[in-house]
Structure 1
């Protein structure tokens, strides 16, 4: 069976370039979605939105992303991954620009839907590219660095976005993101090589049949279910994070960018360490340990009232460590589930279910959380924390099944003489 420790497989110069390119695209896509949460208090006050309306604004992106993922899944393995990546990233840029031009709540919802239709597929294509270019023994480090876009969006993106929103209105944050994405689009077009080896392995002539054959495989469905559970936990708490910090914990609007920046710096420091650890140790053990730690922090965090700012920062750092500690190994494990000829479809369906589950979670959280006035504390946020903790327990069990399945399959491939006694 797979050992708990292993020698690190070195990365080539081109592989490092691919990591940088994917990390930069991840930065813009994550920032486009993440910036909605810290601007939540600004949007709700400036546009007069209720918590339910804001929950819909967040979930509209997720629902449209989920729909586009399902529609694209049947075609994801039928094209050069570079070409399909450029197509959807271009659409994402257009949608983000429209968000910056939205003048009303209905227009904002429409723009978020367009952004989600294109942006929601980019992550799945990136995962397929990573799986094609990097072996499993490299993917922990790759995920650690690529997902540094998450931390970078908080260190640089969110504070700058909040500064722009406070200075020139929330529209300017989206226009800034779209401008950065155009530069990255040129870089992807220029430097990324064609990725088309999977095309020679295609046997399904019908896109629908390829989609169905991918979804019908039991081991794939275990991966889909695990991803959906992980997504529900993240989406339930995130939309109201800034509003909870300001209205319940006593964080000021000027302290909020600093809070996100410190949390982001901690993410940048934690990510590479977790990624390297995931390639040397058992990925499931790291995931389960981090998830338990995150659950405890969440239960404390969601029941807090007004506390000193330094304590808010400390708790956010600990919660960030738990989130990232489970994100990196879980993503690396899930990329090991599909076969090469199914990777694009699997990742698209996986991303689609992730977004749909997250959209439902955000909408449900918007119905659970109540704010009586624009400045009153959020109510029932602690109940959201209890739900997240319960779902996290289920995720630990599902990831255990997934990890064992991958280990057994790897063992059969590397030692067929032992896996099949008749040989």
Structure 2
């Protein structure tokens, strides 16, 4: 465990949260830019969906492949190299002159982004003791809030006024500034290298053992279930609000800002509660609580726009609140020398779950004669059913005995 002063530890956590923010913004910003990109390249909605999907699938493959090498290098050096490639991918995306180049750039961004998410959580696990890891995870999860508060609205405003490529230029500048700060602030993390990694000829058998370890399989299963449930609802909120409730696309920014602001102020508090009362217990409470907002948003009645804005913070806090104890719990499952590989595979499972959830959710929807989206209520019921499965399944996911806290053990 790295020995850092409290001030440097705080600064490093905030820096990692900002790094995570750029990754999430890079993924999220594509969706509100859809109309501009389709017009700029004269492509169909299906082609645009391919560009969005390319990120998730490549992110998953990248995370899976990273499990073969992530524990072989100094965490600091690996973070700086991969994050530099991430900044380059956004520059390629911003300067893409045709749709094929854009598609390749999005795939490239997914390849680097998938590894970065694993590296960030691995660094958190290396520098923060398990008794405070829930609170630390809450800090990292504020990146989702910042992306909702600033990322989506920035994408909408910049895309409308300066063209679809402007948000990606912004990401390049932010990434370069964060890269410089990381080069100064992130310490060398080599403790995991004290246990010699297996030679390359043993990597694939070791990866297979990692994938088939019963404790790991149960953890991966929980991740997949939650991601599918999550993505059966989230991607279709904006289209349903516009098509079924007549909300103007530019007003969607206010909804995400309200939800993101709420999660920004609650993420760290939820992380502390996970440390205090146990990660299993808090996950069950937040997952159970999330069922009502999911059913409400997927069966949304005709209500004023301000009421929707007021409701969205409840929805966002409920959904993000179940992911914080889940992520903190998953960091306690593997042995320290396999933690990076485990989290890389888990990141790949997340991406796979994201893709499957969005795909399955889309299959349940259809267009009405008046342009309305039909079937969103079914998405809500299936999502709640999967949450119910997760409530049972989480009891089968256990921390490594040496890492169990008194609360978790009890």
Moved more, 175-184 or 232-241: 232-241
Q: TM-score, normalised by structure 2?
A: 0.91
Matched, 1:75 2:88: no
Cα distance, 1:326 vs structure 2: 0.4
Matched, 1:195 2:189: yes
Equivalent residue runs for 1:7-406 within 5 Å: 12-40=6-34, 52-206=46-200, 207-371=203-367, 376-402=371-397, 405-406=398-399
**Paired residues of 1:88 and 1:118 also in contact (CA < 8 A):** yes
Cα distance, 1:103 vs structure 2: 4.4
**Paired residues of 1:38 and 1:242 also in contact (CA < 8 A):** no
Cα distance, 1:387 vs structure 2: 2.0
What is the CA deviation profile of residues 367-392 of structure 1, one whole-angstrom value per residue up to 9, with x for unaligned ones? 3333469x922222222222211211
Cα distance, 1:52 vs structure 2: 4.8
Distance, in Å, in 2 between the alignment partners of 1:96 and 1:121 is 16
Cα distance, 1:198 vs structure 2: 0.4
**Paired residues of 1:60 and 1:359 also in contact (CA < 8 A):** no
Distance, in Å, in 1 between the alignment partners of 2:193 and 2:65 is 19
**Paired residues of 1:302 and 1:381 also in contact (CA < 8 A):** yes
Distance, in Å, in 1 between the alignment partners of 2:291 and 2:366 is 23
Provide the aligned length of Structure 1 versus Structure 2: 402
Distance, in Å, in 1 between the alignment partners of 2:401 and 2:158 is 51
Cα distance, 1:58 vs structure 2: 2.6
**Paired residues of 2:334 and 2:400 also in contact (CA < 8 A):** no
Distance, in Å, in 2 between the alignment partners of 1:93 and 1:169 is 19
Cα distance, 1:315 vs structure 2: 2.4
Return 5+ residue gaps in structure 1 as ranges: 1-9, 415-423
Distance, in Å, in 1 between the alignment partners of 2:50 and 2:284 is 31
Distance, in Å, in 1 between the alignment partners of 2:400 and 2:312 is 34
Moved more, 63-72 or 390-399: 390-399
Distance, in Å, in 2 between the alignment partners of 1:21 and 1:387 is 37
* Residue of structure 2 equivalent to 1:6: none
Closer, same or farther: CA 130–34 of 1 in aligned 2, 3 Å? same
* Residue of structure 2 equivalent to 1:417: none
Cα distance, 1:106 vs structure 2: 3.7
What is the CA deviation profile of residues 259-300 of structure 1, one whole-angstrom value per residue up to 9, with x for unaligned ones? 111111111111121111111112222211211221221112
Cα distance, 1:155 vs structure 2: 1.5
**Paired residues of 1:18 and 1:192 also in contact (CA < 8 A):** yes
Closer, same or farther: CA 212–274 of 1 in aligned 2, 3 Å? same
Cα distance, 1:192 vs structure 2: 0.7
Closer, same or farther: CA 357–203 of 1 in aligned 2, 3 Å? same
Distance, in Å, in 2 between the alignment partners of 1:410 and 1:126 is 20
Distance, in Å, in 2 between the alignment partners of 1:53 and 1:311 is 35
Return 5+ residue gaps in structure 2 as ranges: none
Closer, same or farther: CA 54–229 of 1 in aligned 2, 3 Å? farther
Distance, in Å, in 2 between the alignment partners of 1:358 and 1:319 is 19
What is the CA deviation profile of residues 193-221 of structure 1, one whole-angstrom value per residue up to 9, with x for unaligned ones? 11111011135223323322322321111
Cα distance, 1:59 vs structure 2: 2.2
**Paired residues of 2:60 and 2:350 also in contact (CA < 8 A):** yes
**Paired residues of 1:165 and 1:171 also in contact (CA < 8 A):** yes
Distance, in Å, in 1 between the alignment partners of 2:104 and 2:118 is 23
Distance, in Å, in 2 between the alignment partners of 1:385 and 1:49 is 31
Cα distance, 1:227 vs structure 2: 1.1
